[in-house]
Chain A
């Protein structure tokens, strides 16, 4: 199963959602697979930071569906967030874990899931996310996306994907700071709110 194909089916289901995504090649793949979600997506550059930020966003905007596009390396970096989400039970958070069993962006050394013994969906269920599943085909993944985007409880999909990057994709040229402004202005516009307002003139 290719990550880009999964992203393409997920992207077709998204319109008003907000997306926090992980670092590495998946960033460029997402911006190519979901160009209509460009302003509604924010990549984060740190392992272990993606799902916590998505949960913070979900806590602040409980009426809005939030999607976390995390990775096996990122989730393993900070498993505690699963326990926090298990206790908090946000109704508006879909977590996708792209599990390619390697640290792809640095050349592919194995993550802990490569052993075949470590099961992130099982860890999530043990942390209180009862709806946590592993998908191995694009059809399975798509079905879980439909259910996860409608769920009234946290929903987690571990997508077992190949370690290859989609060839021929355009690179994103913006940095974290520019992306934050784009994302914040999108949230402001769609929520009718002010996050980064004018200076005080005093």
Chain B
């Protein structure tokens, strides 16, 4: 990611009121994670898998603070169980920011499953999402996801692809 794209993500998170980020690092967001770690206004919590991160974000919601789950889109598959239970069973929302691995242009064979499964999994869980491939639309997308999730009390997602992450 370019420094300007990293800044756009962090600006969006802050404007949405986020003070805690749970993440499992990936390669497309590699510049984002250290920037989050060093930001004085954001506490980062590194998790062992994205499922755990989703559940921690649910707990943060209950505290009144705002959290985001940041991950590669493969992490969505790992998160499905707590997302289904918390979202559909209790109305506890998690806002996700994920890198779009496997979109057109992908040149790694191992990332193809992430692209093929991302939208069907989001649709299966009825999670609204926005795919953002232009840097100037990142900040607004993150703020919109939080607005929606705090009106619906359900999960939402922003997937960053294209020139934003490559």
Q: Which residues of A contact B (CB under 8 A)?
A: 20, 42, 44-46, 48-49, 52-61, 78, 80-81, 83-84, 87-88, 175-177, 179-180, 183-184, 187-188, 191, 193-196, 199
What are 30 residue pairs bridging A and B, where the CB atoms are less than 8 Å apart in the complex?
A42-B62, A44-B85, A45-B89, A48-B51, A49-B86, A52-B82, A54-B59, A56-B57, A56-B58, A56-B59, A57-B59, A57-B62, A57-B63, A59-B60, A60-B20, A78-B51, A78-B52, A80-B47, A81-B48, A81-B55, A84-B52, A88-B45, A175-B89, A176-B91, A177-B90, A177-B91, A179-B90, A195-B61, A195-B63, A196-B153
- Smallest CB gap from A54: residue in B: B59
A56-B55 in contact (CB<8A): yes
B90-A187 in contact (CB<8A): no
CB contacts between A and B, total, < 8 Å: 118
| Complex CA–CA separation, A196 to B91 (angstroms) | 11
Shortest B91–chain A CB gap in Å is: 5
A188-B60 in contact (CB<8A): no
A60-B65 in contact (CB<8A): yes
Query: Residues of B contacting A87 with CB < 8 Å?
Result: 46
- From A61, A88, A199, give the contact of B63 (CB < 8 A): A61
- From A45, A57, A196, give the contact of B60 (CB < 8 A): A57
A84-B46 in contact (CB<8A): yes
| Complex CA–CA separation, A59 to B59 (angstroms) | 8
Query: Residues of A contacting B49 with CB < 8 Å?
Result: 78, 80
A80-B43 in contact (CB<8A): no
Whether B92 is near chain A, meaning CB under 8 Å from some CB there, is yes
Query: Residues of A contacting B153 with CB < 8 Å?
Result: 196
| Complex CA–CA separation, A87 to B65 (angstroms) | 21
B52-A60 in contact (CB<8A): no
Shortest A9–chain B CB gap in Å is: 25
Whether B105 is near chain A, meaning CB under 8 Å from some CB there, is no
Main secondary structure of the interface of A (DSSP, over half): helix
Query: Residues of B contacting A58 with CB < 8 Å?
Result: 59
Shortest A92–chain B CB gap in Å is: 11
Whether B71 is near chain A, meaning CB under 8 Å from some CB there, is no
B85-A84 in contact (CB<8A): no
Q: Which residues of B contact A (CB under 8 A)?
A: 20, 43, 45-49, 51-52, 55-65, 67, 81-82, 85-86, 89-92, 151, 153
Which 3 residue pairs are nearest across A and B when measured between Cβ atoms? Answer: A56-B59, A60-B63, A80-B48
B85-A46 in contact (CB<8A): yes
Given contacts A60-B59, A78-B52, 20 further A-B contacts (CB under 8 A): A46-B55, A48-B52, A48-B55, A52-B58, A53-B56, A53-B58, A53-B62, A56-B55, A56-B63, A57-B59, A59-B56, A80-B47, A80-B48, A84-B46, A176-B90, A176-B91, A180-B62, A180-B91, A188-B64, A194-B64
| Complex CA–CA separation, A200 to B85 (angstroms) | 28
B67-A56 in contact (CB<8A): yes
Shortest A115–chain B CB gap in Å is: 24
Query: Residues of A contacting B63 with CB < 8 Å?
Result: 56-57, 59-61, 187, 195
| Complex CA–CA separation, A57 to B56 (angstroms) | 8
- Smallest CB gap from A42: residue in B: B62
Query: Residues of B contacting A84 with CB < 8 Å?
Result: 45-48, 52, 56
- Smallest CB gap from B47: residue in A: A84
